[in-house]
């Protein structure tokens, strides 16, 4: 715990002093999922209509985040770790956002974020990879800054998310039907050509 306590205070010690910085990190800590949804929608709609492979990568990215969260549920049921605000003495930390007193380990936000990002590495255009990865890093730091996670929660989330992202590519053909459904709904790829022929 000494590593976690020291690491926690390295980030959390700055909370509560600058309103703009506090609000920025609180926003990233709370609304990263909504930001990811926006990024997914933008990416799906702005890629060339004929681009099947990169849209399949988006599907893999989304499922990688889900896989990571499933793993987290299993881990948290085996090992319960209380969050910082549940064990630290009042006045020794600053909590910027409300949070339920559930399991702290691993960080779900970090796991999902790095699942999305890791699955994009080497598979999507640079702007997609960069935006998802930068947001994942900001989110990881934000969860420490606002006082709801320990450093090893974040590290575990990064590891689980990254492994989930890489693992999903090993079974990418199994989720091709999901991609095909999305392509069919939006008339992209071969489905666009088939529609035009009709």
133-142 residue pLDDT tens: 999 999 999 9
Q: How far apart are CA 158 and CA 149, in angstroms?
A: 13
Instruction: Give the three-class secondary structure for 146.
Output: coil
Average pLDDT over every residue of 73-91: 95
What is the average pLDDT across 84-107? 95
Helix (H) or strand (E) holding 158: helix 151-170
The model's pTM is: 0.91
Instruction: Single out the residue of 133, 161, 193, 184 nearest to residue 75, CA to CA.
Output: 161
Q: How far apart are CA 84 and CA 7, in angstroms?
A: 12
- Does the pLDDT at position 186 exceed 90? no
Give the C-alpha separation, 129 to 161, whole Å.
Answer: 15
- pLDDT of the residue at 181: 93
Contacts made by residues 66-71, CB under 8 angstroms, sequence distance 24+: 66/112, 66/115, 67/115, 67/164, 67/167, 67/168, 68/111, 68/112, 68/114, 68/115, 68/157, 68/160, 68/161, 68/164, 68/165, 69/108, 69/111, 69/112, 69/115, 71/111, 71/160, 71/164
56 vs 155: CA distance, rounded Å: 28
What does the pLDDT look like over 42-69, one tens digit per residue? Answer: 999 999 988 999 999 999 999 999 999 9
Residue 122: phi, psi to the nearest 5?
A: 75, 5
CB 125 within 8 A of CB 169: no
> Which of 168, 135, 140 is closest to 67 using CA atoms?
168
The two tokens of residue 106 are 């691993």
pLDDT of residue 80: 95
d(CA 33, CA 188): 26
């Amino acid at each position: 715990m000494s590593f976690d306590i020291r690491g926690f205070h390295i980030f959390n010690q700055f909370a509560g002093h600058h309103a703009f910085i506090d609000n920025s990190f609180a926003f990233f800590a709370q609304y990263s999922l909504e930001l990811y949804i926006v990024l997914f929608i933008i990416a799906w709609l702005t890629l060339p209509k004929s681009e099947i492979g990169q849209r399949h990568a988006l599907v893999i990215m989304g499922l990688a985040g889900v896989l990571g969260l499933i793993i987290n549920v299993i881990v948290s049921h085996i090992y319960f770790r209380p969050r910082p605000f549940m064990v630290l003495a009042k006045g020794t930390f600053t909590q910027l956002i409300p949070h339920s007193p559930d399991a702290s380990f691993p960080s779900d936000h970090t796991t999902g974020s790095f699942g999305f990002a890791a699955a994009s590495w080497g598979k999507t255009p640079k702007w997609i990879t960069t935006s998802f990865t930068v947001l994942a890093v900001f989110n990881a730091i934000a969860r420490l800054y606002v006082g709801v996670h320990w450093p090893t929660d974040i590290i575990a989330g990064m590891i689980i998310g990254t492994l989930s992202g890489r693992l999903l590519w090993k079974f990418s053909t199994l989720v091709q039907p999901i991609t095909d459904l999305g392509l069919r709904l939006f008339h992209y790829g071969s489905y666009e050509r088939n529609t035009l022929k009709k």
